[in-house]
Amino acid sequence: MLFNRPILGYLDAMAELADKGEMTFRGIPVSAGAAGVVHGRILVMDGARPSITKRQLAEPEVSEEINRLGRALVETRQQLLEVQRKVSAGMGAEEGGIFDAHLLVLEDRTLLDEVVRMITEQKVNAEHAFHSVAERYAATLAAIEDDYLRERAADMRDVTTRVLNNLLGVQQEMDLRHLKEACILISHDLTPSNTAQLDKGHVLGFATDIGSKTSHTAIMARSLRIPAVVGLEDVSGRLESGQHALLDGINGVLVINPTDKTLSEYRELIRKQVILQEKLRDTQLKPAITLDGHRVFLSANIEQPADAEQVKANGAEGVGLFRTEYLFIGSERPPDEEQQYRAYREVAAALKPLPVVIRTLDLGGDKFLAHMPASREMNPFLGWRAIRFCLQRTDIFREQLRAILRASAEGNVKMMYPMISGLDELNQANALVEKYKEELRREGVPFDEHLEIGAMIETPSAALVSDSLAKRLKFFSIGTNDLIQYALAVDRMNEKIAHLYEPTHPAILQLIKITVEAAHNHRIWVSVCGEMAGDPVLAPLLLGLGVDELSVAAPLVPPVKFIIRRLKLTEARDLAEFALKCESATEILTRCQELARSIAPSLFEAK
Ligand code: PEP
Ligand code: MG
């Protein structure tokens, strides 16, 4: 979805309104590639909390005040259940599951006991007591250097506002389902409940002060494919509803009152994007084949069952990476075997006979269950993550492995383990799979006896022992996102050292080469599913290094296919040969850019 309105005509009209003082805000593009530029008037959501005053109670008022709090909690619970029901019906159980975290705040005995104690002992009104205690909890969570816990603080504040509104008899948050005019929402934060209720017919896009790419709000925006920019710092406090704006979800920019010059720049960018999108649409359903006849397997990465729809629509030939942890992190309790089975079966059946590679749980690092806080580990990315977690929590792993095995009876399912760092882990995981296969056989439950199992190669140690691993597996999938951070010792989340995060570093290319050679020596295939595969500048290098498959975010399938269809494998091999001899990451990158720009210039003009 690049432009969902006739933006060119609109920009002409806007030119008259221009020069009222252009303001440009730069933030984080949430859905880059999936969503583009939208325009419209902004609607600034007043995220202000109801104003709370402190009132001293007389002794006889205390018990009624506690009853009043009880009624507000019941009312809030009913409202949340209703929102959850609607969201689950409209968007799926996973999105609905996000409200489990909100409902749990209402059941938090420590918090509620403290509120009741404050009302009783200090004889203060329920609003003041609830607000003081909940805000203290939220502030503590928000202060912790961890995206996940900060999101929990947002959940806590979201629920608190609802409870306070109910205590005060104030109408609940702005009802976004009844917007009259299409607009761009501007807000300090957009809660999951707000985001889930967005009506795409009326909400062109949104921009928020805070947020990260991994927040629930961002996950929702991606699912809904709504253009969004987050992390704009204090933007909501500086704008007024009714102002005209351009929201650029590709580059992460919000322009208020754009000048003639900006409008004409955007007009040009939009014109090029429209042409590019048409070209990409033309190639979309054609095979990913190079000019000299080499067939590349191009598949998509998905995060949730609903994404399966986008796989074929974007011209992918299956799912190369299903990140199953998103079924887990949206809720307080891990989904059970049956829930997971239904989710995996849904994807496998929808895409049959195309392959679906289900990755076993990759919790840890930056993805946590609510009861598994990051703060307990000094280095969560080097800690209790992925296969390490699963091999210790075999209760959770068992349910997942059984669910995947059962789903394998319904489609072309393959399975892979994340973050394997050596042979022992692989052997242990394989032994568990055998054990659960035996259980299913005894129970007479069908599964694919020949289910192919692979491993992600995302630690340098796995690449270096890939020969041993390859003997015991059917495929490899190179996770460059992690391989780069582990090999170069560069935290992939840290923007301060982002310049050191170099996919073309000679060390990375050597690790990929070793992995590809080990795979091919043992006649197994090798894929790359990290972000590097979805970059049209770098995809030729990977193909030149001998990679058989690229698995990329669904919206990136068309541009990657576009470049593959303009590339000769011989050129890619020459590039790889040069790169493997070259000592400089920058020089390698420059060569990659030169090749990509020379064979597909239009891909690079529309930014
Ligand atoms: C990777 O590390 O490249 C990968 C695909 O896994 P994730 O991004 O989920 O860690
Ligand atoms: Mg990874």
User: Could you tell me how far CA 195 lies from the centroid of its own chain?
Assistant: 15
Cα–Cα distance measured from residue 362 to residue 329, given in angstroms and rounded to the nearest whole number: 10
Q: Do 56 and 123 touch, CB atoms closer than 8 A?
A: yes
User: DSSP characters for 268-299?
Assistant: HHHHHHHHHHHHHHHHHTS--B-TT--B-EEE
Helix (H) or strand (E) holding 497: none
Residues with CB under 6 A from ligand 1: 321, 323, 362, 458, 479-482, 529-530
Compute the distance from residue 530 Cα to the ligand 1 centre, in Å.
5
| Smallest CA separation from ligand 1 atom 9, residue | 323
| Ligand 1 atom nearest 532 alpha carbon | 3
Cα–Cα distance measured from residue 404 to residue 388, given in angstroms and rounded to the nearest whole number: 19
**Coil, helix or strand at residue 319:** strand
- How does pLDDT run across 124-182, given as a tens digit for each residue? 989 889 988 988 888 888 788 777 777 777 778 778 888 887 887 665 545 555 566 78
Q: Minimal CA–CA distance to 536: which of 208, 354, 288?
A: 288
Q: What is the pTM (predicted TM-score) of this model?
A: 0.70
| Ligand 1 atom nearest 531 alpha carbon | 3
| Smallest CA separation from ligand 1 atom 6, residue | 479
Catalytic residue check, 216: yes
What's the confidence (pLDDT) of residue 17?
43
Regions of the chain where pLDDT drops below 50: 1-19, 33-35, 48, 173, 192-193, 214-216, 219, 373-375
What's the confidence (pLDDT) of residue 36?
73
| Ligand 1 atom nearest 458 alpha carbon | 2
Compute the distance from residue 418 Cα to the ligand 2 centre, in Å.
7
What's the confidence (pLDDT) of residue 7?
36
What's the confidence (pLDDT) of residue 222?
59
Cα–Cα distance measured from residue 416 to residue 387, given in angstroms and rounded to the nearest whole number: 10
Report the half-sphere exposure of 371 (CA within 13 A, side-chain side).
6
Ligand nearest to the CA of 323: 1
- Kindly provide the residue ranges of all beta strands, DSSP E only, lying in 387-442, ordered along the sequence: 412-417
Count of CB atoms situated within 10 Å of the CB of 601: 10
Answer left, alpha or beta for residue 489, where phi above 0 means left and psi between -120 and 50 means alpha. Answer: left
Give the phi and the psi of residue 526 in degrees, each rounded to 5: -135, 130
| Smallest CA separation from ligand 1 atom 4, residue | 479
Instruction: Provide the token pair at 105.
Output: 């705040």
Instruction: Provide the token pair at 58.
Output: 């007389």
Count of CB atoms situated within 10 Å of the CB of 54: 12
What's the confidence (pLDDT) of residue 231?
82
Q: CA-based angle 397:399:400, to the nearest 5?
A: 65
Catalytic residue check, 371: no
Compute the distance from residue 479 Cα to the ligand 1 centre, in Å.
5
